[in-house]
Amino acid sequence: MNKIYNPKPETWSSILERPTKTVDDIEATVKEIFKEVQKKGDEAVAKYTSLFDGVACEKIEVSTAEITEAVNNVSEELKAAIQLAKSNIEKFHAAQKTEKVQVETIEGVNCWQEKRPIQKVGLYIPGGTAPLFSTVLMLAVPATIAGCKEIVLCSPPDKNGNINPAILYAANLCGVTKILKVGGIQAIAGLTFGTETIPKVYKIFGPGNQFVTVAKQLATQFGVAIDMPAGPSELLIVADDTAVAAFVASDLLSQAEHGVDSQVILVSTSKNLIDAVEIEIQKQITVLPRKDIAEKAIANSKLIFVENDTIALDLINEYGPEHFIVCTACDDFYVDKIENAGSIFIGNYTPESAGDYASGTNHTLPTNGYAKNYSGVNLDSFLKAMTFQKISEKGILNIGRAIEIMAEAEGLQAHKNAVTLRLKAINNEK
């Protein structure tokens, strides 16, 4: 890892730069695949699945028999763990339900807001070297609680044309209505346009690599909403001498093993802790099965020393981390003042892994600085807020003249007439 001491604020943007390709590097490829999927449907999907995943699937929709087989192949121990996680995620997201908001803004003018589910949602679940069945829980559970009618899941197949059994088990457990063996750009394109097999959806959720992230952003140009531009994983820890160096190192490595383009950062007011964490990382990384991946991510990562907590906080808010661990003598200072972070983990015994799996919060979070303007996935992500109003004769009398004046001032005579006619009808009745 790169050690940096007392960086000046004017250097922060370059120091905190993410190790990701620019959109320009990827966009041309994404657009080409989108065009082909829009035109050729399943044929194009099959072509790119063969090209990128090295497999030809006879049927991309997962059958009931495949789901049954997958359920039987998942150990009882893992099933119990998934069920515990699902229960906690359900509790946290069900608690986010809100009642109808209703108010009489002025006598006779009743306005209210109600939330309704997005009817058709697409869930993208990464596969490859780390099949993220936990992401199924994070997306399908709130989608089900929200009441989405169609929950379509796409995940890339392995070399044998199968989806990881744990992904299928979790999808079946959480109410997914259709599961498809397709990943990458072609999956996002399929969900955007619809094909013979892949349904067109209204909103796409889920993390992915840089190609998937750009594909999701492109999907918005075709009338499809997305949760956020969620790309490669990242973690920032702020810690001092009250932190346990071994714990800090383990958390940094837990995110580094996600992928070679992941980034982890330690910000500390203690040089001793930085040195201790560096030693722990070298010790712990040697036994990791994904050592090669973690080492490459660690090469893109930073150990940053700053003089005090105020400077540390300013730097962290500038970065806007996806995951933010606070382990200091003054945790409340950071918790109260943090402005830009996807999800916050507090204290020595709150590993980021807890949020990834089983504490109940959602792990689908904004990366690449988008924590400055995006929320992580939550129940409201699967809902639309709709407003209603009902105005009585008394109500239109109370606001009618103001509407007429404002409409006339904007030069919109028909708007004014819509009120004037009603006011005249009421006055004629008297």
* 377 within domain boundaries: no
Q: Which is nearest to 339 in space by CA: 321, 365, 361?
A: 321
| pLDDT for the residue numbered 229 | 81
| Active-site annotation holds for 363 | no
314: Cα separation from own chain's centroid: 24
Residues 190 and 77 in one domain: yes
Binding site members for Zn(2+): 255, 258, 356, 415
Residues 242, 320: one domain?
yes
Rounded to an integer, what distance in angstroms lies between the CA atom of residue 167 and that of residue 152? Answer: 13
State mean pLDDT over 158-183: 96
Residue-by-residue DSSP string for 242-297: TS-HHHHHHHHHHHHTT-TT-EEEEEES-HHHHHHHHHHHHHHHTT-TTHHHHHHH
Is residue 395 predicted with pLDDT exceeding 80?
Answer: yes
In terms of DSSP bridges, do strands 109-117 and 101-106 run parallel, antiparallel, or are they unpaired?
A: antiparallel
Average pLDDT over residues 140-155: 98
Three-state SS at 163: coil
Q: Within 13 Å of residue 135, how many CA atoms lie on the same side as its CB?
A: 21
19 contacts 261 by C-beta, under 8 angstroms: yes
Q: What is the pLDDT of residue 261?
A: 86
Q: What is the model's pLDDT at position 384?
A: 97
For 304, residues 6+ apart whose C-beta sits below 8 A from its C-beta are: 3, 4, 5, 7, 15, 265, 266, 267, 268, 315
Expressed as residue numbers, the domain containing 46 is: 23-228
Last residue within a domain, chosen from 308, 338, 360:
360
Same domain, yes or no: 401 and 421: yes
Identify the active-site residue in 280, 323, 352, 363.
323
Phi, psi of 389 (to 5 degrees): -150, 145
Q: Is the pLDDT of residue 130 over 80?
A: no
Please name the residues in contact with 90: beta carbons below 8 A apart, sequence gap of 6 or more.
Answer: 141, 145
Q: What total number of domains does the chain contain? A: 3
> For the residues 333-343, what does the mean pLDDT come to?
98
Residues 28 and 9 both lie in one domain: no
Name the one residue in this structure whose structure tokens are 């009120």.
419
Cβ neighbourhood burial of 99 (10 Å; 0-12, 13-18, 19+): exposed
Which positions make up the binding site? Answer: 124, 186, 209, 233, 255, 258, 323, 356, 410, 415
Is 370 inside any structural domain? no
Residue 23 backbone phi and psi in degrees, to 5:
-60, -35
Considering 312, 343, 360, which residue would you say is the last residue of a domain? 360
Mean pLDDT to the nearest integer, 364-384: 96
Kindly state the tokens that stand for 286. Answer: 């040697």
The CATH number of residue 176's host domain is 3.40.50.1980
Q: Is 165 helix (H, G, I), strand (E, B) or coil?
A: helix
157 and 39 in a common domain: yes
| Claim to verify: residue 167 and residue 309 sit in the same structural domain | no
pLDDT at 271 over 70: yes
Check pLDDT > 90 for residue 215: yes
Catalytic residue among 280, 322, 352, 363: 322
Q: What share of the chain is helix, strand, coil (3-state, %, to 5)?
A: 50, 15, 35
Angle CA 42–47–48, to nearest 5: 100
pLDDT at 281: 97
- pLDDT on residue 300: 84
Percent above pLDDT 90 for the chain: 91
Does some domain include residue 366? no
pLDDT in tens, 288-297: 999 999 999 9
Phi, psi of 101 (to 5 degrees): -100, 120
Encode pLDDT of 222-249 as tens digits: 999 999 987 788 999 999 999 999 999 9
Query: How far, in whole angstroms, is CA 136 from its chain's centroid?
Result: 12
Q: Which residues pair with 385 in a beta bridge?
A: 115
Which of 228, 262, 277 is the endpoint of a domain? 228
Backbone angles phi and psi of 154, in degrees to 5: -120, 135
Mean pLDDT, range 28-33, rounded to an integer: 96
Same-domain status, 181 and 49 = yes
Same domain, 277 and 416: no
Q: Are residues 52 and 193 in the same domain?
A: yes
CB-side neighbour CA atoms (13 Å) of 359: 15
Shared domain for 176 and 55, answered yes or no, is yes
Catalytic annotation on 323? yes
Q: Are residues 197 and 79 in the same domain?
A: yes
Residue 382 tokens, joined: 């699967």
What is the pLDDT at residue 22?
62
359 contacts 88 by C-beta, under 8 angstroms: yes
- Cα–chain center distance at 371: 10
pLDDT confidence of residue 127: 84
Taking CA 113 as the corner, what is the angle to CA 97 and CA 394, rounded to the nearest 5 degrees? 150
Rounded mean pLDDT of 36-47? 98
**pLDDT of res. 23:** 67
83-87 average pLDDT score: 98
Average pLDDT for the chain: 96
Confidence (pLDDT) at 1: 80
pLDDT digits (tens, 9 = 90+) for 296-313: 999 989 999 999 999 999
- pTM, 2 dp: 0.94
Count the neighbouring beta carbons within 10 Å of the beta carbon of residue 221.
Answer: 10
| From 97-111, 116-130, 170-184, 402-416, the region with the lowest mean pLDDT | 116-130
Write down the residue that tokens 């930085």 correspond to: 274
With bands split at pLDDT 50, 70 and 90, how would you rate the model's confidence at 21?
low
